[in-house]
Amino acid sequence: MTASATKKLYIKTWGCQMNVYDSNRMADILHPLGYRAVDTPDDADMVILNTCHIREKATDKVFSDLGRMRDHKNIRKAKGKKTLIAVAGCVAQAEGDVILERAPYVDMVFGPQAYHELPEMIIRATGERVINTDLGTDSKFDSLPADHAAQDGPTAFLSIQEGCDKFCTFCVVPYTRGAEYSRPAEDILNEAKRLRDRGVVEITLLGQNVNAWHGDGADGLGGLIARIADIDGIARIRYMTSHPRDMDDTLIDAHRDIRQLMPFLHLPVQSGSDEILKTMNRKHTADHYRDIIARVRKARPDIALSSDFIVGFPGETEKHFEETLQLIRDIGFTTSYSFKYSARPGTPAANMQGLIPEKVKDERVQRIQELLFAQHTAFNTACIGQTLDVLMDGYGRGESQLHGRTPYNQAIHITTDRANFGKILPVRITAATATSVSGEIVA
């Protein structure tokens, strides 16, 4: 297929940073075919809904959006124009047949390991409805284009690992993303260099279990980070999401030794109760998690910590919940995400006994969020008076405002010339809330 006149491509992305990376790569794949990304579905020649299956009622949300996309398709059809509608990602992987049955106007359904075949699927979609939920990961990365045509800005995601072999009882990822797969080190390094050549100065390495990366040519994730840090022009490196079982000494030492590795770690614990952790099949204990944090803090005393917490998992008693609160008090987090448990169809936890009433879950999630909110506020407030290097990575609302990120991943808006976009500047922190800080550039 060759590019003709420019065609409009609208991609809506739900969920994790992995989905954001995938959406950008879809745009890269379609760029040589003449597709250019637009911000709204109005008059789009192709619409892709890149879905996430983690949260409650994910499928319902997809069908709600599909109804609106159907209206756009009908409006264009009345004008003699064709619109391709595709559902991608984890909901497509898990419920592709349901989507095709319930939404006859959808042309393509494909999972997260099949989007590299988009050009072929578009050709097929001219005469048939397409479903592609192959879970073969290795061929996907081999087939992605070298150019990052969709890349715009100084920060970028770089997927290095996909899939999961942990099989936590609440999680659908092993069923929607497949087994753990690590990309070869040289492929990752070459992609990092291409991103650098496009002006990227901060790279976030991604994976469902990113610290399970075990590609050739490097000593685990810590060794890979060291090799990326040697690339001239890459000033900052981050990684997410990690699993406690894969935090090895080499990675912890990297936090001490590699200046480009930012002092921020997102390490989901999910619960502070050993009984609940066992039911979740996490294969770590609360004290094991505390020990990891102690070792990381010894290596990098100023590390900012983030985590995930599931509230109201089946069988969770008030005692179990209090153990989670105590773990939070013991460690202290700068940002965190807490969710009420909701069953994901097809997971072992969906059939467990001891469901927690919604009223109890509501009360517990409010308590945990109050504690976390206080910790987030305290950390940000403690930064007042400090001068931090801030990467100006986005535009604010006003003509003279830029958005930035501190080394601790705090959001900040700065009044400054837009010519500073993409630069790392010293900023004195002058104010703080639970979710962001404010400051002024140090002359």
Q: pLDDT tens digits, residue range 182-205?
A: 999 999 999 999 999 999 999 999
Residue with tokens 């995601």: 157
Nearest to 29 by CA among 18, 40, 37: 37
Question: Is 146 a residue whose pLDDT tops 50?
Answer: yes
13-17, 242-246, 394-398, 424-428: the lowest-pLDDT one: 394-398
> Tokens standing for 14?
């739900």
The per-residue pLDDT for 63 is 87
Please count the other Cβ atoms lying within 10 Å of the Cβ belonging to residue 345.
Answer: 12
The answer to whether the beta carbons of residues 412 and 395 sit under 8 Å apart is no
**354: phi > 0 → left, psi -120 to 50 → alpha, else beta; which?**
left
Which region among 2-6, 15-19, 233-237, 435-439 has the lowest average model confidence (pLDDT)?
2-6
List, in order of start, the domains of the chain with CATH numbers: 7-138 (3.40.50.12160), 140-381 (3.80.30.20), 387-441 (2.40.50.140)
In order, the DSSP letters of 122-160 are HHHTTTS-EEE-----HHHHHHS-S--TT--SSEEEEE-
- Could you tell me which of 149, 219, 161, 152 has the C-alpha nearest to residue 188? 161
Question: What pLDDT, on the 0 to 100 scale, is given for residue 3?
Answer: 46
Residue 241 half-sphere exposure, CB side, CA atoms within 13 Å? 18
At 258-272, the pLDDT tens digits run 999 999 999 999 999
The model's pLDDT over 295-337, given as tens digits with 9 standing for 90+, comes to 999 999 999 999 999 999 999 999 999 999 999 999 999 999 9
Position with higher pLDDT, 32 vs 400: 32
- Tens digits of residue pLDDT in 15-62: 788 889 999 999 999 999 999 999 999 889 999 999 987 766 677 788
pLDDT in tens, 85-105: 999 988 888 888 889 999 999
What is the distance of C-alpha 232 from the center of its chain? 26
* Most confident listed range (94-108, 146-160, 380-394): 380-394
Copy the structure tokens of residue 284.
């770590």
| Beta carbons within 8 Å of 380's beta carbon, 6+ residues apart | 334, 410, 432, 433, 434, 436, 437
Compute the average pLDDT of residues 108-130.
91
- Does position 389 have pLDDT exceeding 60, yes or no? yes
Residue 191: is it exposed, middle or buried by C-beta count within 10 angstroms (0-12/13-18/19+)? buried
Q: Give the mean pLDDT of the chain.
A: 92
Distance between CA atoms of residues 76 and 117, nearest Å: 26
At residue 274, the pLDDT reads 98
Phi, psi of 132 (to 5 degrees): -140, 100
Q: Flag whether pLDDT at 1 surpasses 60.
A: no
Contact by Cβ (8 Å): 377, 432: yes
Cα–Cα distances (Å) from 423 to 386, 398, 404, 405, 416, in that order, read: 19, 18, 10, 11, 12
Evaluate if residue 344 carries a pLDDT over 90.
no
Please compute, for residue 19, the number of CA atoms within 13 A of its CA located in the half-sphere on the CB side. 22
- Mean pLDDT, residues 242-271: 97
Most confident of 121-130, 398-407, 425-434: 425-434
